[in-house]
Amino acid sequence: MEAIGLMRSREEAEMSGASQALSQALPAKPLDVDRIKKDFPILNRQVHGKRLVYLDSAASSEKPLLVLEAMDRYYRTTHANVHRGVYQIAEEATALYEAARAKVARFINAAGPEEVVFTKNATEAINLVAYSWGRANLAPPRALVTSEIEHHANLVPWLQLRNEKGTELRYLALGPDGKLDLSPLPALLEGAGLVAVTAASNVLGTLPPVRQIADAAHAAGALVLLDGAQFVPHLPTDVAELGADFLAFSGHKMLGPTGIGVLWARRELLEAMPPFLTGGEMIRDVRLDGFTTTDIPWKFEAGTPPIAEAIGLGAAVDYLCALGMASVRAHEQALTAYAMRSLKERYGDDVTIHGPAASEERAGVVSFSYKDVHAHDISQILDEAGVCVRAGHHCAKPLMRRLCVPATARASFSVYNDEADVDVLVEALGRAGALFG
């Protein structure tokens, strides 16, 4: 099956959904990036008279035609509210919405679609766990273990829980090699109820050994939540192999639209958790003296859900599966290695690359500092060359303090990037040094 320019019809998309398990298991093969680029309309535009080199996919990835067309087709032909109407287009909308859920479930090897809850983004998914499961299960003396490298989305909800419940927070520290120091983990797990860690750092690219962490947590009687926002779009994901109890990720980082995220959790956990938001859609019955909730996953999806966005996410899953996630991972790992090597060969000690030294130990993220040039100045100079990188603290201020830097510039890769993109970045960086260094 060819990877690109496929599945333009609904029937082809449905066939792709049925074959996701097979495509996830396919061996890695080289990606035809020149052909992939043609599937992303935004890459045709110029910025400041230069071709667009988009290296900010860790913040939000670009969208292929397949995703744009799936959402447009829904709005043009099938728009109606889901789960409510009994007329034809309402039933069609419901079928498309639930088909997207089934695609996501297969993509991460969930036991079934009922374990997939649609949210607004990964942040909302983590907050859902914190408010629903956390407030019922993490009161003192139960503690929570997290790490110094977390995105604010996997830290602030737990700080809020600590403020409300007095829950003790314990932290895995960052080692000098850019990886988490797991040596104190057994002590940190004593009396812990949950370990909430990233599966891939949005700043360092670090890939913690999540299965090792999960096995230790379960042996100590704790559950595991993984922030998969930077993992699921880039590596083959199997929730059983990861050993997770909860997994959160966002559609807009995996070639899908904004406004749609996913919380996966084991069925028995979801069934035991109270609803996070309440109102329409999530109820079975309402009386003046109380209410009963409907079944999972819908009891966590109050109100009109992001229907078009879910359909777009389903199309993004189709696209990634057509490429093969092993191929996606191999391509991005090679590109990360090339970027790190090119920066060091060109600029030597003037550039500091934060995170693990080996590309196989990190996701496709390269955060760097250059001379004494502020990250914002680097980003502005690169923008003049058409290069988009993120500059700032990347929603990880405690990690910035740990690294002793106010901010970093971050290049992050996806399936539509190649070595030519990296070459433009490396060449343009020299101008920042000439102007500000």
CA–CA–CA angle 383, 386, 390 (5° rounding) = 45
Bridge partner list, 51: 46
According to DSSP, the β-strands at 53-54 and 387-388 are: parallel
Quick check: helix, strand or coil at residue 423? helix
CA distance 74 to 92: 9
Q: Which residues, in sequence order, are CB contacts of 176 under 8 Å at separation 6+? A: none
93, 309 contact by CB (below 8 A):
no
Measured distance CA(321)–CA(316) in Å, rounded: 8
Catalytically annotated residues: 395
Q: What is the 3-state secondary structure (H, E, C) of 353-369?
A: EECCCCHHHECCEEEEE
Which residues does 51 contact at the CB level (< 8 Å), separation at least 6? 386
Which residue is associated with the tokens 């379960």? Answer: 218
Three-state DSSP state, 286: strand
Whole-angstrom Cα Rg for the chain: 22
In the chain, the amino acid numbered 5 is G
Measured CA to CA, the distance from residue 215 to residue 217 in angstroms comes to: 5
Number of residues assigned to the chain: 437
Task: Tell me which residue has tokens 């040094």.
Answer: 433
